[in-house]
A and B are shown apart, each in its own frame.
Chain A
Amino acid sequence: MAILLAIALIWRPWRGFSLETRGIQYSADVSSGLRVMLKLEALHVTLRVENQESSNEIADLFEDSFLFIREIEPYDPATKLVTFEIGRITNLERVENIVDNRGEVISMKENVSDVTRDNVIGRLQARIDPYGIFGARSKPVGNNSALFEIAELEPERVRERLSRQGRFEAFIERTLVWRGDDIGEPIGASWYESEGAYVYRISFEISEEGGKNFEKVSMGKDNYPLPIYLDRPDDAIVVFDRRILEELPIGVTYDENERLFRYSGDTIGFELFDPPAVPTLTDSLPTETLQFLHEQRGVKTRVLLLGENKDFSENVIENIGTIYPIQNVPRITEPSTEPVDDWIRRAYGLASALRIPDETAGKEVSAWEILGEGRSEEDARAKAKDLEAILSQKLPVSTSIESEVEIEPRLGGEFMGEAIRAGLMALLGVGAFIYIRYRRFDVAAAMMGTMLADLIITLGIASLFGLRIGLPEIGGLIVVVGMGVDHQIIMTDEVLRGALPHAQRVSLKGRIGRVYPIIFAAAATTIAAMALLAYIGFGAMRGFALITIAGVLLAVILTRPVYARVLSLIMAREKPEITE
């Protein structure tokens, strides 16, 4: 039964007839994967300041603006220099505006410290391979890049998880209620269908300080929306094609004077107040828009253009491009065209806007949730899992994807074919050896059958839990099968030992029974060692340990007793007297 179940898990016949083993997933060792080069965006800013107090003041201002800072070179009273690492790419004007007359900017260059880089790589690794079983690999490249290699994760998921910083902000009206430090790791993610829509929810804890702040800010704000933003582009100006205003649904309006989108309807609404949004025509940039863009230099550092460059004339792109770098936010058109308000929300990083219930306003809260919608159940599930991964590993710096390529497997495309042939040869080789050792075909056949069963059952369990098979996991499989052979040899030797001069007269059942303590002790020791390896270890170690634990445990419970039974039947046929 177990073997049939395992075969079903490996083959997955319910997905349609095919000879492929669809249940087995491979890591980048044996399957082609995705290689993503990621740029880590941070700046090292060196300032000359009068004293430590000025340095501290600037540090606080940098933290308010850029959220993450580290002192790379502490303030030196002799040279009066201090160097900060800030977690955003920005321009000199903005930095000078913040520093103001507290100091002088000496240099500014894109760079990431080793500590920050290792921290970010570790967090991103945890996002794409949370349990260390997908065989994802990563390494730092150059001064401020990192290379990630993942097999078989959908490219959209990879992009989401690697390129989102996870900078969390929640507002009531225009007052900041919570930031990243105020929220803990997600405590649950779920997705379901509700009234024709595919909804997802992510719950998270709020810190005590965050709870108190909510109590203060939400006083008298019953039923007010609480917009939650992830990676709000507060250093940008949103530029959009004026024609999209015709597609705005009821309840969503654009305020030309305030330069913002407003969500109202017949309840208390909220505004997307920052970044500001300005319209353009597709063939020319209005004067007011151009003027606004000029005025915001030193405050804003880029333009978020809703659409592709090709949707606008060269003239418009050039005019904007001479003032700010342009980042495009194209509209999603597959599987269907994205509604305009969803497009706008996505550009702003608006994740959710749940209303504050009457009984919660003005009280301390300890948890909250994000509620969003997907285009399908699968989309809702994917978004929920992505957000959960992003919120559980918030990054101190922003990232951007430099390149994304498919790469051939590390072990070469021929590896799996070679491995299968080698596995068969090993099976036959061991079978032949066992035959020579015991001079018994039935024993050799029984052992080979049990080896095969161990392998199939272990692969079945790996398939069930989505454990990806790579080189370390293949090592684990060899251990499982090899331990199986070892235990069967112990059992066979004990049973066939027969007429040794000092052999005690013990029945067959007794002899097999005496072997079990050895097998259990060996299995328990292996499982204990592997459990610790799985817990503390990472990546390759964890995958190896998990597959060994699963295989050894199941083999001891399932295939050892079966082999013992088969051996009993063989011996009972030959020497009925020893079965008593």
Chain B
Amino acid sequence: MDITWYVKRLRPRQMVAISLALAAILAASILIRWRTQGTIVPLGPEFTSGTLIRVGGLDNSPDADAIALAAEELLATDFEVRVTVDRATGKFGLDMETQKDLSDNEEAQIEEMLSRQFDIDGSFSAEWAGPAITSIQGEKAWQAMIGAFVAIAVVAMIASKNIFASGAIVLCIGLNILGAIGGMAIFSVPLSIASVAGMLMLLGYSIDTNILLTTKVLKRFGGEARDRIAEAMRTGLTMTSAVLIALFATNILITAPELHQLSMVFVFGLLVNVINTWFLNAGMLLWHVERRRVREYYVSE
């Protein structure tokens, strides 16, 4: 089966339309989520406030996983539970973090649960815990992402010496990030350090296939542009498949939920990148090359 059949058959406008249609669907998902739930994506613990419960003065190391499960069942909200050791006394303790602002009653339920189910009766305190990422840092994060886009555009422009091509690359990468965010909205992947890392990885990866495509189309001169695109696509899909296999292997063997968040964002973004690179970018470049050839034809006439 020739997966590049559409490159030879479809018009550039059609190729671009498919990609833009996907972008529209993803944008709609984001908007729907925003209207119904108030946020574009769920916010992870680094971005939201919640409650920090601290228990201390325990003689034995508690079972953090079992406690987390019990707390989650009791209050129907996620808990991150970690064991601590007081440096001064050598006693064990627990730090339980949740994104929910617990009421006094709920705090009392947790305290009672710890005592009844786990025989834990050490010192107990529960306090509001703010986000780890402050609003200033959040702004800096946005500035950094925007700055990265500008840097990509500048270097792509220098590399390709073609404003149109570098614009197509930036558009493609921007839609990849939109795709990643759309995936987060659809699958409720929280915004966290892990999912931000996934988006950053996507930024790095998207560039490779786009630069490959741009170079093959604009700087190689053997055969038709469509053939060169098809050839680049075979290479590009091999590249993407290799990464997906590596991620698949990683996800099977690593149980950390943070890595699943990173992978979900990255994989979804990569799949969207396949569409954006080989439909949108390819379509735009094809249109550009064919238009230039028509112009050259008329000039030579």
Contact = CB atoms under 8 A, between A and B. Distances in A.
Contacts of A139: 129-132
Given A405-B84, A482-B205, A518 B215 contact: yes
A470 to B, nearest CB: 9
A429 B140 contact: no
A141 B127 contact: yes
A314 interface: no
A426 B223 contact: no
Interface string A532-552: 110111111100110010000
Majority-rule SS of B interface residues: helix
Contacts of A514: 220
A433 B242 contact: yes
Q: How large is the interface on A (under 10, 10 to 19, 20 to 34, 35 or more residues)?
A: 35 or more
Interface stretch (B11-19, B30-38, B255-263, B291-299): B255-263
Interface in A115-174: 118, 121-122, 137-142, 145, 147, 155
Contacts of B255: 412, 414, 418
B301 to A, nearest CB: 26
Interface in A503-525: 503-504, 514, 517-518, 520-522, 524-525
A273 to B, nearest CB: 35
A430 interface: yes
Interface stretch (B20-28, B105-113, B142-150): B142-150
A405 B85 contact: yes
B239 A490 contact: yes
B152 to A, nearest CB: 5
Contacts of B194: 471
A118 B54 CA distance: 22
Interface stretch (A261-269, A332-340, A472-480): A472-480
Nearest to A479: B204
A521 B140 contact: no
Interface stretch (B1-9, B114-122, B183-191, B244-252): B244-252
B271 interface: no
Given A471-B262, A472-B193, A475-B197, A141 B85 contact: no
B137 A538 contact: yes
Interface string A260-288: 00000000000000000000000000000
A108 B243 CA distance: 60
Interface in B51-91: 52, 54, 56, 64, 82-88
Main secondary structure of the interface of A (DSSP, over half): helix
Given A142-B127, A405-B85, A532 B253 contact: no
Contact of A522 (B84, B88, B207, B222): B207
A434 B242 contact: yes
Contacts of B145: 533
Given A139-B131, A489-B242, A528-B151, A429 B222 contact: no
A411 interface: yes
Contacts of A418: 253-256
4 cross-chain pairs, A with B, having the tightest CB-CB distances, nearest first: A502-B223, A521-B159, A140-B130, A405-B84
Interface of B: 52, 54, 56, 64, 82-88, 93, 95, 127-132, 134-137, 140-141, 143-145, 147-152, 154-156, 158-160, 193-194, 196-198, 200-201, 203-205, 207-209, 211-212, 215, 219-220, 222-223, 227, 231, 234-235, 238-239, 241-243, 245-250, 252-256, 258-259, 262
Given A140-B130, A485-B239, A532-B150, 8 more contacts: A139-B129, A141-B130, A405-B95, A406-B87, A415-B256, A517-B219, A528-B151, A538-B141
